[in-house]
Amino acid sequence: MSAVVLTVEGLRAGIPGWDIVRDVDMCLHVGEVLALLGPNGAGKTTLIRAVLQLCAARGRVLLHGQDLTRMAPTDRARAIAYVPQQSRLSVPLSAREVVELGRYPHRGDAFGLGPADRAAVDAALAATDCRHLQNRPFATCSGGEQTRLLVARALATQARCLVLDEPTASLDIAHTLEFFALVRRLADEGMAVLVVLHHLADALRWADQALLLDAGHVVAQGPVSEVLTPERVRQVYGVNMCPGAEPGFSLPSAEVACAP
């Protein structure tokens, strides 16, 4: 078993007087893609916000064995990167300047970017197919382009743990496939990835493990194929799994072409 990166124990979070998620236990390992699944309102976003200490929560969250609440903000930002569903940036920045924000935890009070910072930003822009966007105002980019730039910002931190909240919701088919290929490669190279997904087919194809939430409770967790059984999908989502019903796609460069 590979090393544990993120440990969640007895996590409860929500709003005053109401816990949206209750008693969640979870482990994320090196080299693993863990899909966080569940219907609308299951508590997926609340859970990851609680894990990241972005909302009030009870329970323990350990990052590389350290209590996340006791880590200095810069140390935490170097170790774990977050991509929200939507950007709330209102400052007029270029796309490249947004990605450069990912280097802030490494720069401290230093003024400007050094060669290592610029190299990390360039690599992140290339990995997310965003080099052609870098001089555009971030606010003028489409929703899908902004999502890719936020992923690039996260990659620029060079954190070894990546948390993404519905990152493919606004991506077209090609960029969705490129995103998942990138996530799979990052995990294979030793990163740990926690990703909220809506499409179960994506989880089955790309993720190693899954945690299924319903009404704030963990219904099941483990290998994706064991979590997403026809009986459990019917129980949680109220739909039947139909093998072979969903069309498949691949990039032109993929080694295995789709069947005609």
Tens of pLDDT, residues 181-214: 999 999 999 999 999 999 999 999 999 999 999 9
Q: Residues 103, 156: contact at Cβ < 8 Å?
A: yes
Residue 4's DSSP bridge partners are: 29
Helix (H, G, I), strand (E, B) or coil at 64: coil
What's the chain's length in residues?
Answer: 260
The C-alpha atoms of residue 155 and residue 120 are separated, in whole angstroms, by 8
Find where tokens 């390992």 sit: 29
For residue 105, give Cα distances in angstroms to 117, 125, 150, 190: 11, 18, 16, 21
pTM: 0.90
Say which residues have a Cβ less than 8 Å from residue 145's Cβ, sequence separation at least 6: 95, 130, 133
Number of other CB atoms surrounding residue 236 within 10 Å: 19
Residue 242's DSSP bridge partners are: none
Domain residue ranges of the chain, discontinuous segments joined by +: 4-237
Q: What's the CATH number for 4-237?
A: 3.40.50.300
**What pLDDT, in 10s, does the model give residues 123-161?**
999 999 999 999 999 999 998 999 999 999 999 999 999
Report the pLDDT value the prediction gives residue 246, as an integer from 0 to 100. 65
